């Protein structure tokens, strides 16, 4: 794989993770358990969609085929999306949403932190911008894992189920492939495997403080980075892309 | 048509931009918030560099539009607004005047300097004491980490019972 193709692929992964999770969070808009949470989830979604634009515009620019963030978001099919499986998982209850967010935020923080030292200045500056936002996201999702885990009997039970059920989607975050090898070789991005230890340290400490039990290592679901997705992604795209598919080039 | 003899100098232009309000927090100007990073003439074209507060802040394009409109009204017909991401915007760039105006408007200004401990050192973080912008009481509670815009959080005062926005520190 040549360096340019690998870089486009890598940028699509960064952008698609932010896009799909941002879309998932926006589904809570108007449905959250409290008005304050409705605002908060929508704001996190907004940060992620903002980051999506930066990553996907850069992906399109590097690709050089005239595609911008909108074309990439609205006009690719599921097999061309490169997000990890974790972010496309359904919202479930509030505990599932916050557990998914915590797993993702802790990893996202470490990844962006690594990318601030990228040899590609365009990547380093987007990462530095995003890191400030993601720091705040992580503080918030960590607080929710603690509050629900160490809360009532019911909130504890729901948060334990959530951290257990989503655990199998976390292995994919740390697995490198040939794209990652090119990024490490060129000093563009960190080796995903090196993020695992600090991630697990934070997750373990938080889960223990929340009086929850850390899930056991087990089978890891993977494939999203290569375009092999769970059935959920197609439904997300049906919602996300409907307008552009039904009314091509519609603007407002 | 502006030539090099009659064109206003960048300090004058910054002064004018001090009258352009932020679209979401109109009590402060785009200069107060530290969004305008650079103003310079490149030959006969004026280039104004602005930085977004948050990646997804919907106000960024409105701000660019309003800066352009304000400068055109001053007779500057050749100008370009350039978006600059690096270094990323920080609340440390809000001016003293901006902080004063935020508070007078009912929004508590950022309480500390940006760049606190990482979330990986959670136990080093201390809860912030935010004073109520209305009655100055420090007996306040955070209601939500986010408020009506990405840059704010929601608090309430336990003494005067007033809910208020807090401008988050990033």
Q: pLDDT digits over A164-190, tens only?
A: 999 999 999 999 999 999 999 999 999
Residue of B53, B84, B88, B143 to mutate for A, most A C-beta atoms under 10 A: B88
Residue B115: count of CB within 10 angstroms of its CB: 12
Question: CB–CB of B107/B94 below 8 Å?
Answer: no
pLDDT at position A130: 96
Q: pLDDT digits over B34-54, tens only?
A: 999 999 999 899 999 999 999
Residue A1 Cα, gap to closest chain B Cα (Å) = 30
Nearest CA in chain A to B168: A136
pLDDT at position B123: 53
The highest-level CATH class for domain B10-83 is alpha beta
Q: What is the rounded distance in angstroms from the CA atom of residue B13 to the CA atom of residue B23?
A: 19
Orientation of helix A3-26 relative to helix A232-246, angle to 10°: 90
Q: pLDDT digits over B66-116, tens only?
A: 999 999 999 999 999 999 999 999 999 999 999 999 999 999 999 876 666
Q: What is the rounded distance in angstroms from the CA atom of residue B140 to the CA atom of residue B53?
A: 26
A29-38, A136-145, B119-128: range with lowest mean pLDDT: B119-128
Domain chopping of chain B, boundaries: 10-83, 96-167
pLDDT of A94 higher than 60: yes
Residue A237 backbone phi and psi in degrees, to 5? -65, -35
| Closest of B36, B56, B34 to residue B110, by C-alpha | B34
Question: CB–CB of B157/B135 below 8 Å?
Answer: yes
Q: pLDDT digits over A200-246, tens only?
A: 999 999 999 999 999 998 889 999 999 999 999 999 999 999 999 99
Task: Assign A34 a pLDDT band (cuts: 50, 70, 90).
Answer: confident
- Are B86 and A129 within 8 A, CB to CB? yes
pLDDT of A45 higher than 90: yes
Q: What is the rounded distance in angstroms from the CA atom of residue B165 to the CA atom of residue A165?
A: 36
- Are A130 and B148 within 8 A, CB to CB? no
Whether A155 contacts chain B with CB within 8 A: no
Q: Which domains does chain A have, with CATH numbers?
A: 3-246 (1.20.1260.10)
A179-209 burial: b if 16+ Cβ within 10 Å, else e: bbebbbeeebbbebeebbeebeebbeebbee
Q: What is the rounded distance in angstroms from the CA atom of residue A143 to the CA atom of residue A106?
A: 12
Residue A157 backbone phi and psi in degrees, to 5? -60, -45
Segment A93-99 mean pLDDT:
97
């Amino acid at each position: 794989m040549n360096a340019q193709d690998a870089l486009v692929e890598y940028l699509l992964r960064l952008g698609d993770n932010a896009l799909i999770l941002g879309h998932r969070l926006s589904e809570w808009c108007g449905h959250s358990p409290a008005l304050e949470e409705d605002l908060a989830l929508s704001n996190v979604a907004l940060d992620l969609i903002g980051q999506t634009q930066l990553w996907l515009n850069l992906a399109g620019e590097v690709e050089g085929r005239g595609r911008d963030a909108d074309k990439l978001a609205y006009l690719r099919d599921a097999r061309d999306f490169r997000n990890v499986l974790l972010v496309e998982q359904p919202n479930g209850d509030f505990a599932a949403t916050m557990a998914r967010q915590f797993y993702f935020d802790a990893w996202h923080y470490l990844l962006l932190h690594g990318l601030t030292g990228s040899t590609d200045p365009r990547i380093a500056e987007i990462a530095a911008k995003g890191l400030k936002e993601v720091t705040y996201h992580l503080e918030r999702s960590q607080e929710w894992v603690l509050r629900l885990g160490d809360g009532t009997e019911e909130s504890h039970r729901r948060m334990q189920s959530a951290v257990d059920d989503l655990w199998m989607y976390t292995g994919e975050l740390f697995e490198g492939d040939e794209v990652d090898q090119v990024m490490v070789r060129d000093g563009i991005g960190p080796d995903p495997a090196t993020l695992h230890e600090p991630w697990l340290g934070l997750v373990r400490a938080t889960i223990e403080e929340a009086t929850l039990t850390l899930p056991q290592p087990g089978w890891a679901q993977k494939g999203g980075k290569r375009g092999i997705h769970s059935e959920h992604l197609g439904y997300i795209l049906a919602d996300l892309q409907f307008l552009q598919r039904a009314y091509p080039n519609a603007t407002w | 048509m502006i030539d090099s003899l009659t064109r206003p100098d960048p300090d004058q232009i910054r002064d004018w931009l001090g009258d352009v309000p932020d679209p979401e927090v109109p009590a402060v100007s785009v200069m107060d918030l530290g969004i305008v990073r650079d103003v310079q003439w490149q030959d006969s074209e004026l280039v104004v560099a602005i930085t977004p507060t948050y990646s997804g802040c919907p106000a960024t394009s409105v701000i660019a539009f309003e800066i352009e409109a304000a400068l055109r009204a001053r007779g500057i017909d050749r100008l370009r607004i350039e978006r600059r991401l690096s270094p990323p915007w920080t609340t440390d760039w809000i001016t003293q005047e901006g902080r004063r105006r935020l508070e007078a408007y009912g929004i508590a200004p950022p309480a500390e300097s940006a760049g606190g401990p990482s979330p990986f050192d959670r136990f080093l973080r201390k809860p912030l004491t935010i004073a109520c912008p209305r009655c100055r009481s420090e007996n306040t509670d955070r209601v939500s980490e986010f408020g009506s815009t990405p840059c704010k959080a929601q608090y309430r005062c336990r003494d005067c019972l007033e809910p208020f926005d807090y401008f988050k520190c990033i």
